Amino acid sequence: MQIARVTAWRNAGAIWLAACAVLGFGCFVFAGDQLHAWPDRFWAAVVWQLVFGVALAALLLGTIAWERAQELSLRDVGWRKPTSRTALALGMVFGALYVSGVYAGILNDPAMQGVDPFALPGIRFALIPLGISMGIAEEALMRGYFMTELARGGAPTWAQMLLSGGCSAAYHSFHNPSWIGFLPSFLLFSLHAGLYVFARRSLTPTIVAHSMYHVLCAPYLLMFAMAQSYAT
């Protein structure tokens, strides 16, 4: 359903600004600043992931309630929408490639010396539901609601994809405000936006990919992010 362009951009902008405030500043910057000084980096990363999980759940629930007033439901933005096997396979490929890159980065970074990303302490299994919920929330917000609002305002598909990638990368780089902090996330989330479009705007393939990142890399992904951001 088309709506006035100014309304659509206002809605998309509100979603992004909320993500910047809650995830960018609240989680990446404020929580990261508190936790990086912990002597035990492993448990600092576990707590950081819990903070992100709670923040993402609150953001998604708030957005669902607010968007209902805009006549837009979670199903309207691709929740449980049928898609192709090819799109699902691509989601799994994205996940596998990203996880491989994270593991390689951890194993080759001097700041992560002694960290074994293949280790399986019990907390990694306990974090699985949280990782899945985080993937669902962020994809519903920044691919589902964000891109659908832009589409309702008549934005071309290429612009939706680039804006989704750029706006996601922006708050992911609050703790590392540099090109090296921004560009990899921009590429990753622009590919997510492209996969969302390729999947006929079903959220399932991008949720599969994003959930794999958190489930298979937790909590070492955030340990790695902390080491990169607070390196002296």
Is 232's pLDDT higher than 60?
A: no
Q: Is 184 exposed, middle or buried (0-12, 13-18, 19+ CB in 10 A)?
A: middle
Residue type, 95: G
Q: Are 124 and 47 in contact (CB under 8 A)?
A: no
3-state secondary structure of 222: helix
Q: What total number of domains does the chain contain?
A: 1
Is the peptide bond prior to 39 cis by the omega test (within 30 degrees of 0)?
Answer: no
3-state secondary structure of 74: coil
pLDDT at res. 23: 98
Q: pLDDT (tens digit, 9 = 90+) per residue, 167-179?
A: 999 999 998 888 9
Closest to 158 in 3D by CA, of 190, 124, 205, 117: 190
Q: What's the CA gap between 177 and 179, in Å, rounded?
A: 7
pTM score, whole prediction: 0.95
Q: Are 180 and 28 in contact (CB under 8 A)?
A: no
135's tokens: 């993937």
Mean pLDDT of 24-44: 95
Residue 131 to residues 9, 10, 79, 212, 219: CA-CA distances in angstroms? 30, 30, 17, 8, 10
Residue 48 to residues 65, 107, 152, 216, 226: CA-CA distances in angstroms? 26, 21, 35, 16, 10
Q: pLDDT (tens digit, 9 = 90+) per residue, 51-97?
A: 999 999 999 999 999 999 988 999 999 999 999 999 999 999 999 99
pLDDT at res. 229: 79
Query: What domain range is 202 assigned to?
Result: 5-229
65's tokens: 């309630």
What DSSP string describes 23-45?
IIIIIIIIIHHHHTT-S-HHHHH
Q: What's the CA gap between 23 and 34, in Å, rounded?
A: 15
pLDDT at res. 1: 67
Mean pLDDT of 186-193: 98
Residue 210 to residues 36, 93, 95, 111, 187: CA-CA distances in angstroms? 24, 11, 7, 25, 14
Closest to 201 in 3D by CA, of 160, 168, 159, 154: 160
